Amino acid sequence: MRRGLVLLVAAAVAAAGCGGPKLYPVRGVVRFDGKPMKGGGSIAFMPVGNQPGRAPGGEVKEDGTFELSTAKPGDGAMTGEFRVVIHQSTDREPEAKKDGERAGKAVTVVGEADRIPGVYSDAARSPLRATVEAKDNALTLELRRDAEPPPVKGAGRGDPPGRAFAGRVRLPAGAN
């Protein structure tokens, strides 16, 4: 009887897996103004709402492609809606020098015209959203030069959408 109970509990634990939500493969490409994003960088999917589990992320390669990971490389992401945060690599570290030699300057690899707007790297304001479904997911994330953050809930009345901000005091004109 006791042995049977131990086997039943062991089987239940094995069936439950590691306890986290099921993950699905997510691959894709980041495009800026219709072309693959230059320079590479990093990508993070921040859950929207009360989704359990860890936020997936990954590397954006120099050709704009990416693959998400949550617990181990390439394992994907849980299902749900996410705010997408992208950091673009615009500079590269200088060549290594011998001890005692002055380090060189960083090398710019992405010109001003190919740099994505900073709002995409803001976890609270990025306007980019993506949905991960219970299947192999192939995503194309289109970034726009004229991107604006979503309106802040509870922002001051009369502020145009995307221009409102929270956490600061706005002084009336001429009050500085």
Each residue's pLDDT tens digit, 37-57 = 999 999 999 999 888 889 999
Return the beta strands (E) in the chain as ranges: 26-32, 35-36, 41-47, 57-60, 65-67, 80-88, 91-92, 107-108, 129-132, 137-143
- Across the chain, mean pLDDT equals 80
User: How many whole angstroms separate alpha carbon 64 and alpha carbon 68?
Assistant: 13
As beta bridge partners, residue 36 has: 31
Q: How many CB atoms lie within 10 A of CB 116?
A: 23
Q: Which residues contact 110 (CB under 8 A, 6 or more apart)?
A: 38, 39, 88, 89, 90, 91
Mean pLDDT of 132-152: 90
Ranges 20-24, 29-33, 82-86, 157-161: which has the least confidence: 157-161
Domains and CATH numbers, the chain: 21-143 (2.60.40.1120)
Ranges 34-48, 56-70, 106-120: which has the least confidence: 106-120
Q: How far is CA 69 from the centre of its chain?
A: 11
Give yes or no for residue 103 having a pLDDT over 70. Answer: yes
Tell me which residue of 130, 145, 151, 158 sits closest to 43, measured CA to CA.
Answer: 130
